[in-house]
Chains A and B, each alone.
Chain A
């Protein structure tokens, strides 16, 4: 019997491709560019837990938040490129890079592994406002009502400014730190509406909040009736994809092994990470390789547009 097991083990070893044999030389530092306890942070930690359980590698999550991911990216660039350092950022990094005078890194400094999930960004207002579409908002704004709108990061502030121009109304744009504070301000009546990246689900389902328009490339899972910004004649993608990156010099076998493990986890319906994504972020979004590089390039192109003379002023 023992012989059979040994043989089977040997066979498995022989037949498994080389990439599966890649092992990190020590514990993997998983840097997270979001504040602890939030959706993205929880997602990263769940993936980390599962990586430990599946591959037996030690994963140590570390919060490196700040400046839209810039703090993390500047740090990640100088980490060892042996697969022991990865970081969770979003594809909105393009905006963060271009908006900062000297971020200390360039987009080419990284090996992008894979995206894992996307946001469910919508322009949200209290249901009691009676707004169902952008047209309702415009009608009220043109009636002389001063509209105060919230932005969960500077990128959304620029987008809101451009959206206001597009709709020919004036928004008073207020900056917030993260979606929860925007949502609190909407509920408290401090602001009239704002973009939220998924936290609004509970409020939308209970009928207190409404998604007026989807900020994603596609319509929202929770409000399929709301059109996208593009469909409304304003072709901007405000959705974000959460993705793992590593320092540029990462060896292909390490990149492949890490990517495969992460993708397996988020796509496995039995994994906690998958359950969390479907509950809080829609469906897993897996984009890798050339497609992912294009996604990053698109993010830069859009950021350039947002930060152009039109957007920056």
Chain B
């Protein structure tokens, strides 16, 4: 038996479309993965359109529920990832809806969409503005996914061929330095956040048979679970902050005047063609930014918008309702998501919060170990990881297709979600998050730990310290420690093993350069200013 790439793709397609049918429609099986993808897309659209919520939030809450529903078998991975990817894809799209209709960005990156989206809506072009957003968003996303599909295998193989323990360890150090330095109010705060993450991650882990730093507490013997730490810092910290904000501020009663559609709302083919170069450019910006760890869609959106502003030649000036402005922003922020999975699938290094949850899902369920083995085209016996990853690619493309078709039908109707007040939303979020953690962990101590991590996240926000370096360092700490130990052992206990190859030295030098220069030059300052708050 010899298996070609063609066989793998067809098995991957089967894994998505026909394996584990959830139900039948007219005798045609509808697979669980497809059902979960649609559910994820709908959830993403909805949470994206609610200003207090975001895609990563929905992913954080959904993950424990998905894992306890589908379990840990290989069959669980595709439905779980389908839902998470659906949320990731649709949240950007949903975020543009309130931005255009109500001048309220549903997600942070949609802020720039309000610049031209809301003026368009006020001019009676709301329908058209939404169509531009959808067209740009889905095109950017599709471009990004295609880059992921073509790049990740080669990057993974490159890593296998040229990188050993010291190089991989040094690369993780570089990623952490970059994330620490690039995200948040200042480089030093970001680095402190990352080191703090490393410290807490060292509890209970390590090679020794006796658990480390547990003070004899049995519940700490395996350290804090990743879900508990991540959800606590990112989601609960945010919830505490939002509750405090609610206590201080009274909701402004002035709501923007309702928009009325006037004239032709269709986005014609010649208009789409005219937008293509802008989408292409913004898409490339998004892909480049997405492939780098830590700096996410907000920076991409800012860059996309700023470059378009400089080059704008359209009939309507930017900022007064130019469709080009919406297209430049949405394409850039949407193009981040696919590219963000390049380091996840080839190296196991997450770039932003959405990627963090995808990686946690992969790690928790098992059956897919990010790295070169995933992309090995085993000809004699099926490589289930390759099938899985092809399945993931198929799901991503299918998600884009659904966003193309169903997205436009739903977007307009989502406007109503804007009216859900945060004072109802936040307590609900708190209860659902805590319940979801209990569902996965099954013990009260996990909830106490999560609430504690929430306090850490809250205090970090108070100090304008981003939680993202903390979280990514927390996730990578185990790999880093292991790689350093392994590199040390493999070298025969050479204390300079980390500097044993030019590539490793280059990564380490780059880490130092990034950490020291990021906050001291104009480009670095722009990146820091526009990087995702989370």
Contacts and interface: CB of A to CB of B under 8 A. Distances in A.
B365 A172 contact: no
B209 interface: yes
A96 B72 contact: no
Given A175-B207, A206-B378, A66 B222 contact: yes
Given A38-B366, A67-B211, A102-B210, A176 B486 contact: yes
A146 interface: yes
B493 to A, nearest CB: 8
Interface in B372-394: 372-373, 376, 378-381
B366 A202 contact: no
Best-buried of A66, A70, A174 by chain B (most CB within 10 Å): A174
Interface string B446-489: 00000000000000000000000000000000000010011001
Interface string B353-369: 00000000000111101
Interface of B: 71-74, 160, 164-165, 204, 207, 209-211, 218, 221-222, 364-367, 369, 371-373, 376, 378-381, 442, 482, 485-486, 489-492
Interface string A96-128: 100111101000000000000000000000000
Nearest to A37: B366
Contacts of B366: 35-38, 41
5 contacts: A36-B72, A63-B72, A146-B492, A190-B486, A206-B379
A15 to B, nearest CB: 38
Given A74-B218, A175-B207, A190-B164, A37 B490 contact: no
Given A75-B218, A172-B491, A202 B210 contact: no
Contacts of B369: 180-181, 184
A138 interface: no
A187 B161 CA distance: 10
B202 to A, nearest CB: 15
A186 B533 CA distance: 41
B364 A188 contact: no
A36 B218 contact: no
A133 to B, nearest CB: 24
Contact of B492 (A45, A75, A172): A172
A265 interface: no
Contact of A36 (B209, B210, B365, B378): B365
Nearest to A60: B442
Interface residues of A, number: 46
A216 B425 CA distance: 59
B486 A174 contact: yes
Interface string A175-194: 11100110011011111000
Contacts, number: 94
Interface string A31-62: 00001111001100100000000000000001
Given A36-B72, A188-B372, A190-B165, A175 B486 contact: yes
Judged by DSSP, the binding face of B is loop
B39 to A, nearest CB: 23
Interface in A263-279: none
B381 A206 contact: yes
B490 A100 contact: no
A175 B380 contact: no
A45 B490 contact: no
B209 A68 contact: yes
Interface in A212-232: none
Nearest to A74: B218
A104 B72 contact: no
Given A68-B209, A188-B372, A37 B367 contact: yes
Nearest to B376: A187
B370 to A, nearest CB: 11
Nearest to A41: B72
B482 A45 contact: no
A141 interface: no
A68 B222 CA distance: 12
Contacts of B204: 66
A311 interface: no
Nearest to B168: A190
B51 to A, nearest CB: 36
B172 to A, nearest CB: 15
B490 A62 contact: no
Nearest to B442: A62
Contacts of B490: 148, 172, 174, 190-191
A205 interface: yes
Given A99-B209, A100-B209, A205 B380 contact: yes
Contacts of B211: 66-67, 71
Nearest to A63: B72
B485 A45 contact: no
Contact of A37 (B74, B165, B373): B74
Nearest to A70: B209
Contact of A66 (B221, B379, B381): B221
A128 B73 CA distance: 33
A238 interface: no
